[in-house]
Chain A
């Protein structure tokens, strides 16, 4: 298994050391475990000849470069008004109950993190959510529990 540091090195080598490649590099480093640790930040900084503070400043700017430990699957529920009008709150409550966590938390088995996000571009089919990269639309409380069950079995 590759160590964390060698994963950082590989990402920097793949994209190149110039600063313009910082976002793709951070995205790639993040992907292996769904978040960026402080040591990831300083390793990327060292490899790219940037300061850790600079890299942290950039990473913390973007919603999807998570800086806190996350579960295997991240659920992002859209909280924009159009999804809200279609009942996104019920979806959220159903998920909180099923996963026994609140928004922002991760299940104790580490399989799911539950988060909210701004408009994900499915307003005509709300309520909508993303699990990792995959969008799910026209959600009902029943449907969402089935989806979670599927992910639970897979992971």
Chain B
């Protein structure tokens, strides 16, 4: 069941409770209690992939050894996403608080914020926050220190294993999984990699409790989420909304009255045409009927003045550039999809060639090594299927 109305929430940026108080209360609980609370809350990773956070922490906590790491993934690169920048700018202490919780639960001494290069302007502010945070850690008698690691400008490094590779001084090429980072992560040690927003929610769950968090959203997609709204809208910006909204309600609120399609989840997400707004909901597949789309929060709105060929072309150029080149399906596939739609547009290839390209994107979904190559088919197929004529003429 989808939620009937769009409901705005104010957890992430709320200033009504100090992080220090939340931590003071939370650190009195046992590790198991915190893990259980997170599992009960149903919190799933807010970077887009949606892995249950409590379970991730539990897996890392179960690992033996005294060197473990907490990494905050602030390599926000999905086109149309800008929430993590805003979180780090406005409530960095909540993020650090979430890292401290995780460190306490899994028994880690070191943490890193992997900040994308494009957000370097945040460094002075973040360093100040980290300084304050370290004083708190001393007061709590928690042996945990956080450092900043600045990325080099590579979209694929948002994928957790390539992020780790890059922190180890290598090309940011994704690893084979398993082993998962909770088992063998940074420098081969158990590592939790969490998105910026996810870490804030762990803090907020400590404050409001699992029950209240779970009361929001829908079965399988509990709580709220930040959405980065851009494109043809009069209300571009960041909004925290309860999970499970229908796209119809979303467009009613944010569209300009002439919305033709919404791209949910950025270049790696899905394009939803107007006729499907009603039956499409935002949330992780599970409790939802019809189409449900998970997202890192990128919502790009296109009105009828836009060419969907142009949109797809822009995404494919992006993928072709950002593919790490390690596996053939993605390296060659991205190039061929881009070349292919250009050739069709120029009239050098028949429109039937689109079917071949669709099959190619399906192959990429099955055979590419990481999420980047696998998700090219999402935008490709959903745009081509729904706006076929725009691709051809």
Q: Which 5 A-B pairs have the closest CB atoms?
A: A62-B152, A22-B169, A63-B153, A124-B236, A123-B230
**Contact A20–B187 (Cβ < 8 Å):** yes
* Residues in B lying within 8 Å of A, measured CB to CB: 76-82, 84-85, 116-121, 149-155, 166-172, 187, 228-232, 236-238, 300, 302, 306, 310-311, 314-315, 318, 321-322, 324
Residues from chain B with Cβ under 8 Å of A124 in the complex:
82, 228-230, 236-238
- In Å, the complex CA distance between A21 and B318 comes to 28
A residues with a Cβ closer than 8 A to B are: 18-24, 26-27, 57-58, 61-65, 79-82, 84-85, 117-126, 130, 133-135
Q: Say yes or no: A23-B167 contact (C-beta < 8 A), given A62-B152, A65-B152.
A: yes
A contact residues around B76 at 8 Å (CB) = 121
Partner of A20, one of B167, B238, B324: B167
- Chain B residues whose CB sits within 8 angstroms of the CB of A57 once the complex forms: 171
**How many residue pairs between the two chains, A and B, have CB atoms under 8 Å in the bound complex?**
120
By secondary structure, the B interface counts as mixed
On whether the beta carbons of A23 and B169 are closer than 8 Å, the reply is yes
**Complex: chain B residue closest to A119, CB-CB:** B79
CB distance from B289 to the nearest CB of A (A): 31
The docked-state distance in angstroms from the alpha carbon of A122 to that of B119 is: 11
The chain A residue sitting closest to B173, CB to CB, is A61
Distance between A102 CB and nearest chain B CB, rounded to angstroms: 18
Cβ of A133: which chain B residues have Cβ within 8 Å of it? Answer: 120-121
Q: How far is the CB of A61 from chain B (nearest CB, A)?
A: 4
A61-B154 contact, Cβ under 8 Å, with A23-B167, A84-B314, A135-B121: yes
Given contacts A80-B79, A80-B318, A123-B80, A63 and B152 within 8 Å (CB-CB): yes
* Docked-complex contact B231 and A61, CB < 8 angstroms: no
Given contacts A81-B311, A123-B228, A123-B236, contact A118 B155 (CB under 8 A): yes
Which residue of the partner chain A has the closest CB to B322? Answer: A118
Seed contacts A63-B117, A80-B318, A124-B228; 20 additional CB < 8 Å A-B pairs = A18-B169, A24-B149, A24-B150, A57-B171, A61-B171, A61-B172, A62-B154, A65-B152, A80-B314, A81-B311, A82-B80, A84-B314, A85-B302, A85-B306, A119-B78, A120-B118, A123-B81, A123-B82, A123-B300, A134-B121
Closest to B238 in A: A124
Decide if B318 touches A82 in the complex (CB within 8 Å): no
Of listed B229, B230, B306, residue having the most chain A CB within 10 A: B230
Contact of A85 among B81, B232, B315 (CB under 8 A): B232
Query: B318 contacts which of A27, A118, A120 (Cβ < 8 Å)?
Result: A118
A23 x B152 contact (CB < 8 A): yes
Give Cα A121 to B324, complex, Å. Answer: 21
Q: How far is the CA of A87 from the CA of B117 in the complex (A)?
A: 24
> Chain B residue with minimal CB distance to A61?
B171
A117 / chain B contacts, CB cutoff of 8 Å = 118, 153
A58 neighbours in B (Cβ, 8 Å): 169-171
